[in-house]
Amino acid sequence: MTKATWLVPTGLIAISFVPMVAGAVRVAELGGGGTRTPDNARFFDQPLPVVLHIVSATVFLLLGAFQFSPGFRRARIRWHRAAGRVLIPCGVVAALTGLWMSVMYDLPPADGTLVMLERLLFGTAMAVALALGFAAARRRDIPAHSAWVTRGYAIGLAAGTQAFTHAPWFLFAGDPGPSARAFLMGAGWVINLAVAEWAIHRRRAPVPARHPAAAQT
């Protein structure tokens, strides 16, 4: 495999690095007697959903990163299929636990109702996309499977993109208010879905045939 084979997985893992590290810190905090504060009290009160969310999302992001490298898939098709059997359930667990936390946990001080609604919308969309991707794989509709799983992964990866959408605001304006935070969070999901749709369209676009005369020049 060439260096280009590793380009997409490396980029996707780099984008997901911040949320994965933050998740690992959270799990260590809960498991190692971290300091309880008003911001994290809900996690100490009910740790299971957040731990399931972090672990499943981490596996989903890591395995998913390698699924989007054509060279890697062609070289390890059996691995691709086996990983998919783990990837989709982990993604669904990550989406459903995210929905549960959005509804059942107390609303964080930094968030507003609009952020909660965004999480409900995109969390539901992620679970539905992965379910449709699984159904498409069962009926051997590989283009539809690829498209739906790409959308589901893009939504899950938005936690990494949101770190980049928030960074300039933190640097130049400080902590965002509820409206600004909703905009920055939404921007992460929208950006990722836009890139996903571009990638889906690019995969589906027919390769132009070369003219025989041009091929001889």
Contacts with 195 (C-beta within 8 Å, 6 or more apart), sequence order:
154
**Which pLDDT value is given to residue 125?**
98
Contacts with 43 (C-beta within 8 Å, 6 or more apart), sequence order:
26, 29, 30, 50
Contact criterion met (CB below 8 Å) for 96 and 53: no
Angle 212-216-217 (CA atoms, 0-180°, nearest 5)?
Answer: 120
The per-residue pLDDT for range 80-112, each reduced to its tens digit, is: 888 889 999 999 999 999 999 999 998 887 788
Task: Report the SS3 class of residue 105.
Answer: coil
**Which residue has tokens 């989709």?**
88
Q: Please report which confidence band the pLDDT of residue 216 belongs to, taking 50, 70 and 90 as the band edges.
A: very low
Q: State the DSSP H helix or E strand holding residue 190, giving kind and residue range, or none if neither.
A: helix 178-204
The per-residue pLDDT for range 104-128, each reduced to its tens digit, is: 998 887 788 999 999 999 999 999 9
Task: Report the SS3 class of residue 174.
Answer: coil
The per-residue pLDDT for range 12-56, each reduced to its tens digit, is: 999 999 999 999 999 999 988 778 888 888 999 999 999 999 999
Q: Is the dihedral of CA 16, 154, 134, 23 positive or negative?
A: positive
Residue 4 above 70 pLDDT? no
Q: How far is CA 190 from CA 66, 187, 196, in A?
A: 22, 5, 10
Residue 165 above 60 pLDDT? yes
Contact criterion met (CB below 8 Å) for 40 and 85: no
- Which pTM was predicted? 0.88
Average pLDDT score over the chain: 88
Using a 10 angstrom Cβ sphere, with 0-12 exposed, 13-18 middle and 19 or more buried, the burial of residue 188 is: buried
